A and B are shown apart, each in its own frame.
Chain A
Amino acid sequence: MTAGTEADWKLLSDLLAERFGLSFTGARQPILAARLQARFEALHLEDARAYYHFLRFHPEQATEYEALSRQLTNNETYFFREPAQLDAIADTVVPQLAAARPGLPIRILSAGCSSGEEPYSLAVKLTDKGYELQGVHWEIEGCDLNPARLAAAQEASYEGLALRACNETVVQHCFHPVGPRHQLKERYRKHVRFFPANLAAPFALAGKGPYDVILCRNLLIYFEPAAFDRVISRFAALLPPGGFLFLGHSESLFERSQAFEAVHFPGTVGYRRVEES
């Protein structure tokens, strides 16, 4: 069903790279074809060129881009994923920043937050550390391209798979059971806000920040190299010297950015914003 010549797929993937910064060339093309199958069927289109034309010219292109963003970024995640980074932020980074700038709130961005599991996991860690009682204030913002995922994040109601890394004690501690689902308790939600953002768009995150910590994990692996570099530059502009950026385990800034230096934490690596030379 998802047919098309190599040229058709290249036109389409170039358009998606320009729009979303996502790379679907080479070995990733079958992934794109599989994800688009449902869109082709919904629109009664039979090949990649027809879909490309639809996205370029059809009066309903805006609606379709929104549906497409849901299709392309439907990446499921879960609470307390890659916990070493969450521990590094909660145990080391936040106390350091709080000591360096007493009285000022610590601002954290979870970029590509999906349905909120990552920012809420961090909120649980920071709340349970009791920082507020010590006068350390913090706030977390989450952003994502996919409006459906953001709506789910606002709901903060989760099913079993999202809790796969939580044992029964943690589930009882953090959630209220609501039928077969689990509602995150209000005390872990009150410092977390969400907003929509396409990180690849030219003015993504304009008017946002500055932040002290940015998490952007397991998202940039899908970006083409130029878009990757643009997003990293944007993060660098949003972080003051001494601020931290955390990427996924398979993502690295090695030889890619002069604006950051690697810092080792137990079981993980973060990137500290350096002073401009």
Chain B
Amino acid sequence: MARTPDWLRERLQGLDEGPERDALVLATLADPDPAIREVAVAWAARSFEPGRLLRFVGDQADATLRNAALSALERQGPMAIPAVALDAASSEPDQAMFACQVLGRVGGPGCLHPLLGALAHPDPNVVQAAAEALGRVGSPLAVPALLELLAREPWLQLPALDALGAIGDPTAVPAILDLVPDSFVARPALEALARIGAPTAVLRLAELLADQHPIELRPAMVQALAAALEATEPFPHLSALADAVAADESPQGLLAFLRASLVVRRGPAPPGEDRAEGRDGGAVARAGAIVAIAAGATALLPSLLRLASEPECAEWLLPRLRRAAAFTAALEDLTMNRDPRLRAASIAVAGPNGLGSARLLAALDDDVVEVALRAAEELVQRADVRVLPRLFDWLRHDSGPGREAAIAGLSRFPTAVVEPLLRPLLTEDGTKAERQAALAILARLPCAGLEDAVYASAASPDPEIRRAAYGAVAQLHGSKAEVVLLRALADREAALQLMALDLLVRRGGERLVATLRALLSTEDSLRYHVIRALGRLRATEAVRALQALFPRAPLHEQVEVVAALGAIGGRGVHDFLAGCLSHAETEIRRAAAKGIASNAGPEDADLLLELAHDRDWVLRGEAARGLARIDGEASHAALLDLARDVEPTVARVARAVLIPAPVP
């Protein structure tokens, strides 16, 4: 058979731990095929002790073997740290450098001190590797030592800046600012400041930007300033920057630069385009907008409003523009601009006090629907009842965004205002579409006076009306609503049965679990969903009924019964789940293991330690999840072992327990 990754995987899985398996791993660890090598690396991490792998790292003759050993050490995770830490202190530069790289990739607090020690290595390559690794580890405890590197050679300043940016500790900001603008590493320093995003950098960066320091640094400076501003709410008034923007209208000036940045460039950057200026999904535009707002640059308001019309920008940009008092005076004129994007966005930005109601009412008649919708939205925000006729008109006669806006808008008025409008739509005089729209409003805004009409709609022969009515019924209080939804579990349409079940589960209710438990005795397609619903409700009262159903249920329901019992948890289900671990069907074993892991306590330690050695990777992964809930040496040792599992998914679960991600 040809040597393929699958072939190797099957051979290795078929061999017991021992010399034959080790020999096969060793023989394939430097295989020319990277896919075969990848399998061998996974098994080397599993089978070889760190010391043995470190000997391959020292192999100067075979770079492939060395790289494979480095990957295997990385996959071993925390288990490899003590041995690798010793190598990081080696006087042999290559050995120490590779050790630092492995420590950085493994991460976690255990790597910190060996790496800090390596910063004092006489070989600058080792120092560079240690600095890079400290950035990956992400501990603020490394900041003082990294700041010392800023006074050394540029090739050590670079990794130090990168690491400080990755760590994101604001105490590093003053020292980094000292490197801007007149140093070899000014741009990397600005990039680090952009990653840190500390308010303490705002004034100095604004000053530097206003001083028109080297134009090449502008993109990085704007990014750094924007990041710092985003951490500073509300934005401080940057008068020097505002003056600098207003003063220079030349093509090379700051105003032109910011205006050019306020465009979302989509798609890949064309060849030769500077990445900082390029197509980055809106990051450049966002930075430019933040700086323009902080500078109060009214000349840029049209560009900002056009940017706010972009779907991906509206969410973050509109609230910031609404808070920018400097723009308020300029908005009124823009609501009558020829460009409909400017008209719509200026209404959205003006906010509660920005525009007179007369202007908004006039905008309801705008030819462009988006402008009218914006005006209606603003009038709804102000609870101005003069918008009601228009909303009601859209509700009855529009089938697109107008109706959606009407449903959303009318739902926000008091019931006393809305009820009389909806009542005629729910009679025989209302069209089907009007009735559906009225019920959609009642699914958001329950009106006591229309309850009878809602219940009548729930009995409609038309399934689409019933669908809309069930949503409205779910909002009503009292036992009648619950009874109607329980009856809907027997709706003629299977899709509506499921909808009713979802609504009942979300609503809760005294009779719900008892009813669902009773439904377990019916043999129809709904039972599958009822089993799942009982799991979602964590219905302890249903445990015995579910266990009783298990032996007579078809396989697809059996799996769901085990999953539901796992979700319910408690000692009442533990023995049942433990029994399922020896079931013939793999997925039932997996569902049972998931349930045990989710509820694991100290008494489950032996069972989980056994699962940690199961041949099925899913069970080993569940063992890792369960052991994470149990303190003690045995579970820690098992997790260290699972962190070098041949299945990366399992290894990652164990590693996440052993090395929590650094707090950003």
Residues of A within 8 A of B652 (CB): 6
Chain A binding surface SS class: helix
With CB as the reference atom, state the residue of chain A lying closest to B558. A57
* A53: interface (CB < 8 Å): yes
Which chain A positions have C-beta within 8 A of B594? Answer: 49
Asked if A226 is at the interface (CB within 8 A of a chain B CB), the reply is: yes
Interface status of A225 (Cβ within 8 A of chain B): yes
Closest chain A CB from B475 CB (angstroms): 20
**Minimum distance in angstroms from B445 CB to a CB of chain A:** 24
- Decide yes or no whether B661 CB sits under 8 A from chain A: no
CB distance from B381 to the nearest CB of A (A): 29
Q: Is the CB of B587 within 8 A of A53?
A: yes
Enumerate chain A residues within 8 angstroms of B502, measured Cβ to Cβ.
44
CB-CB under 8 A from B559, the residues of chain A are: 53, 56-57
Quick check: is B560 within 8 A (CB to CB) of the other chain? Answer: yes
Q: Whole-angstrom distance between the alpha carbons of A94 and B548 in the complex?
A: 69
Min CB distance A29 to B, Å, is 12
Q: Give the interface SS of chain B, mostly helix, strand, loop or mixed.
A: helix
A54 to B531, CA, bound (A): 14
> Would you call A130 an interface residue if the criterion is a C-beta within 8 Å of the partner chain's C-beta atoms?
no
Q: How far is the CA of A49 from the CA of B502 in the complex (A)?
A: 19
Residues from chain B with a CB closer than 8 A to the CB of A56 are 556, 559, 587
Complex Cα–Cα for A173 and B545 (A): 69
Alpha-carbon separation in the docked complex, A53 to B554 (Å): 13
A11 at the interface (CB under 8 A from B): yes
Quote the shortest CB–CB distance from B489 to chain A (angstroms): 13
Q: A50 on the interface (CB 8 Å rule)? A: yes
Interface residue from B498, B556, B621, B649 paired with A58 (Cβ < 8 Å): B556
Given contacts A44-B502, A53-B563, A53-B587, contact A7 B618 (CB under 8 A): yes
Contacts of A7 in B (CB 8 A): 618, 621, 649, 653
Q: Once bound together, how far apart are the Cα atoms of A175 and B35, in whole Å? A: 49
Verify B618–A53 contact, CB threshold 8 A.
Answer: no
Contacts of A49 in B (CB 8 A): 563, 594
Residue of B nearest to A225 (CB): B35
With contact pairs A10-B649, A44-B502, A58-B528 given, residues A53 and B621 touching in the complex (Cβ less than 8 Å): no
Q: Which of B536, B591, B653 contacts A6 (CB 8 A)?
A: B653
Contact A6 B556 (CB under 8 A): no
Contact of B587 among A57, A58, A226 (CB under 8 A): A57
Q: Does A59 sit at the interface, judged by CB under 8 A?
A: yes
Q: Are B6 and A226 in contact (CB under 8 A)?
A: yes
The number of chain B residues touching the other chain, given as a range, is: 20 to 34
A6-B652, A7-B618 known; A50+B555 contact, CB < 8 A? no
Chain B residues, CB < 8 A from A50: 532, 563
Contact residues, B617-648 vs A (CB, 8 A):
618, 621
Whether the pair B6, A53 counts as a contact (CB closer than 8 A) is no
Contact flags B362-378 to A (C-beta < 8 A → 1, else 0) = 00000000000000000
B529 within 8 A of A: yes
Q: Which residue of B lies closest to A52 (CB)?
A: B587
Category for how many chain A residues contact B: 10 to 19
Cβ-defined contact, B653 with A57, below 8 A: no
**Inter-chain contact B35/A57, CB cutoff 8 Å:** no
A5 to chain B, nearest CB (A): 8
**Within 8 Å CB of B501, what residues of A?**
44
Once bound together, how far apart are the Cα atoms of A56 and B590, in whole Å?
13
Please determine whether A57 and B649 come into contact, CB atoms closer than 8 angstroms.
Answer: no
List the B residue with the shortest CB-CB distance to A61.
B556
- B528-544 vs A: 1/0 string, CB under 8 Å? 11001000100000000
Q: A44-B498, A53-B563, A53-B587 are contacts. A59–B621 as well, Cβ < 8 Å? A: no
A6 adjacent to B6 (CB under 8 Å): no
Partner of A11, one of B5, B35, B618: B618
Please measure, in the bound complex, the distance between the C-alpha atom of A192 and the C-alpha atom of B563, giving whole angstroms. 50
Q: Contacts A6-B649, A44-B502, A226-B6 hold; do A57 and B621 have CB atoms under 8 A apart?
A: no
In the bound complex, residues from chain A placing their C-beta under 8 Å from that of B560 are 53
* Closest chain A residue to B501, Cβ basis: A44
Q: How far is the CB of A136 from chain B (nearest CB, A)?
A: 40
- Give the distance in Å from the alpha carbon of A176 to the alpha carbon of B484 in the complex: 54
C-alpha gap A45/B563 in the complex (Å): 13
**What residues of A have a CB within 8 angstroms of the CB of B653 in the complex?**
6-7
Task: Report B480-529 residues with CB < 8 Å from chain A CB.
Answer: 498, 501-502, 528-529
How near does chain B come to A230, taking the closest CB pair, in angstroms?
11
Minimum distance in angstroms from A202 CB to a CB of chain B: 15
**CB contact between A57 and one of B5, B529, B556, B618 (< 8 Å): that residue:** B556
Residue of B nearest to A54 (CB): B556
Chain B proximity mask over A225-248: 1 for CB below 8 Å, otherwise 0: 110000000000000000000000
Q: Is the CB of A59 within 8 A of B618?
A: no
**How distant is the Cα of A22 from the Cα of B618 in the complex, in angstroms?**
21
Distance in Å from the Cβ of B649 to the closest Cβ of chain A? Answer: 5
Bound complex: CA A64 to CA B618 (Å) = 24
* Contact pattern, A 25-56, Cβ under 8 Å of B = 1, otherwise 0: 00000000000000000001110011001101
Q: Interface readout for B1-22 with A: 1 if CB under 8 Å, 0 if not?
A: 0001110000000000000000
**What's the nearest-Cβ distance from chain B to residue A21, in Å?**
14
In the assembled complex, the Cα of A126 lies from the Cα of B632 at a distance in Å of 74
Cα–Cα, bound, A7→B649 (Å) = 6
User: Which of A6, A7, A57, A225 has the largest count of B CB atoms less than 10 A from its CB?
Assistant: A7
Is A44 a contact of B587 with CB atoms below 8 Å?
Answer: no
- Bound CA span A226–B7, Å: 12
CA gap between A10 and B621 in the complex, in Å? 12
State whether B556 touches A53 (Cβ < 8 A): yes
**Closest beta carbon of chain A to B608's beta carbon, Å:** 16
Closest A residue, CB atoms, query B650: A7
Which residues on the A side are within 8 Å of B563 (C-beta)? 49-50, 53
- A228 and B560 CA atoms in complex are apart in Å by 35
Report B-chain residues with C-beta under 8 Å of the C-beta of A45: 532
Q: Which residue of B lies closest to A42 (CB)?
A: B495
**B residues near A225, Cβ cutoff 8 Å:** 35
Q: Give, as a whole number of angstroms, the nearest-CB distance from B593 to chain A.
A: 11
Distance between Cα atoms of A7 and B645 in the complex (Å): 14
A6 to B501: give the CA distance in the assembly, Å: 28
Question: 4 additional contacts, CB 8 Å, given A50-B532, A53-B563?
Answer: A50-B563, A58-B528, A226-B5, A226-B6
Could you list 27 examples of A-B contacts with CB < 8 Å? Answer: A6-B649, A6-B652, A6-B653, A7-B621, A7-B649, A7-B653, A10-B649, A11-B618, A44-B498, A44-B501, A45-B532, A46-B536, A49-B563, A49-B594, A53-B559, A54-B556, A56-B556, A56-B559, A56-B587, A57-B555, A57-B556, A57-B587, A58-B528, A58-B556, A59-B554, A59-B556, A226-B5
Closest 6 CB pairs of A and B: A57-B556, A58-B556, A44-B498, A7-B621, A53-B559, A57-B555
